[in-house]
């Protein structure tokens, strides 16, 4: 992406050929070769996000992905005759796993049924367990792990002296772990852990920093009362439709 921050037009410009000409210099009043426009800064942005990406999904609900990103930004200043160049390289490795029916925090209820034999009067009662009764919630557990490595560097080039120097740079390692568990149809619990480590390339710019964050949140959808009301509304609509169908059939029979 190419962009121009701001530009102006020289009032003393005199065109000679192909958009080029002369302007009157302020210092000595002599004609100086120049263009029509006075451009202060020019920025060139190159972004490849991602430059290379691979996504894999396995049969056991395991996912994996690898991404490589590249970014370069060039900023040219006409007033200071400086060219600032910034590079950024990122590598991201991610894994995900989904447990379809995780019963670690919930217990399924069992209903016992008493069966009495009809052939013998004094036969002992038998308890026959019925299949497990659940609430219809899949109780899925989603786990995600992302590991990213970033390397940044900044250079400043002087166009007049042709000297270059490093102005900034760091290396960052980030580890993120997230988990989502569906407790019921109306409640989902999420946990998030993030740790980031920054190491500067220049000792004069900054110090090494380590940052860790931990977050637990819950999200809820419609309440059971709203679900019951919605079910009652749907039932009333179905009864009305059945009545209208019966009335139409009766009128056709009478005719």
CB atoms within 10 A of CB 141: 19
pTM of the predicted protein model: 0.62
Distance, CA of 224 to CA of 174 (rounded, Å) = 40
Q: What is the mean pLDDT of residues 91-100?
A: 93
Q: Answer whether 115's CB lies under 8 Å from 128's CB.
A: yes
User: For residue 56, what pLDDT is reported?
Assistant: 93
Q: Is the pLDDT of residue 225 over 50?
A: no
Instruction: Check residues 181 and 249 and name the one with the higher pLDDT.
Output: 181
Cα–Cα distance, 87 to 181 (Å, whole number): 39
**What is residue 111's predicted lDDT score, i.e. its pLDDT?**
43
Write out pLDDT tens, residues 36-94.
Answer: 777 888 899 999 988 999 999 998 889 999 999 999 999 998 888 899 999 999 999 99
Window from 130-139, 182-191, 202-211, 217-226 with minimum mean pLDDT:
130-139
pLDDT score at 105? 56
* Look-up of token digits 């037009």: 9
Q: How confident is the model at residue 149 (pLDDT cuts 50, 70, 90)?
A: very high
- Quick one: which of 108, 148, 151 has its CA closest to 130? 108
Q: What are the φ/ψ torsions at residue 117 (nearest 5 degrees)?
A: -75, 135
């Amino acid at each position: 992406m190419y962009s121009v921050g701001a530009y102006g037009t020289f009032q003393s410009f005199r065109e000679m050929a192909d958009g080029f000409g002369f302007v009157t210099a302020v210092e000595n009043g002599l004609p100086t070769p120049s263009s029509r426009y006075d451009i202060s800064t020019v920025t060139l942005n190159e972004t490849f996000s991602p430059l290379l990406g691979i996504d894999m999904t396995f049969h056991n609900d395991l996912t994996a992905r690898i991404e490589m990103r590249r970014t370069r930004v060039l900023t040219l200043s006409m007033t200071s005759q400086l060219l600032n160049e910034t590079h950024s390289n990122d590598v991201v490795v991610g894994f995900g796993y989904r447990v379809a029916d995780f019963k670690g925090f919930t217990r399924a209820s069992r209903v016992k049924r008493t069966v009495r034999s009809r052939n013998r009067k004094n036969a002992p009662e038998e308890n026959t367990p019925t299949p497990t009764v659940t609430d219809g919630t899949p109780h899925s557990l989603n786990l995600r792990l992302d590991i990213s490595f970033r390397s940044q560097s900044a250079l400043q080039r002087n166009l007049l002296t042709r000297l270059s120097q490093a102005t900034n740079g760091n290396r960052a390692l980030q580890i993120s772990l997230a988990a989502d568990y569906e407790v019921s149809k109306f409640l989902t619990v999420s946990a998030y852990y993030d740790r980031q480590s920054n190491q500067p390339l220049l000792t004069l710019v900054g110090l090494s920093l380590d940052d860790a964050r931990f977050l637990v949140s819950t999200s809820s959808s419609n309440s059971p009362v709203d679900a019951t009301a919605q079910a009652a509304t749907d039932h009333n609509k179905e009864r009305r439709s059945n009545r209208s169908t019966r009335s139409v059939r009766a009128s056709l029979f009478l005719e």
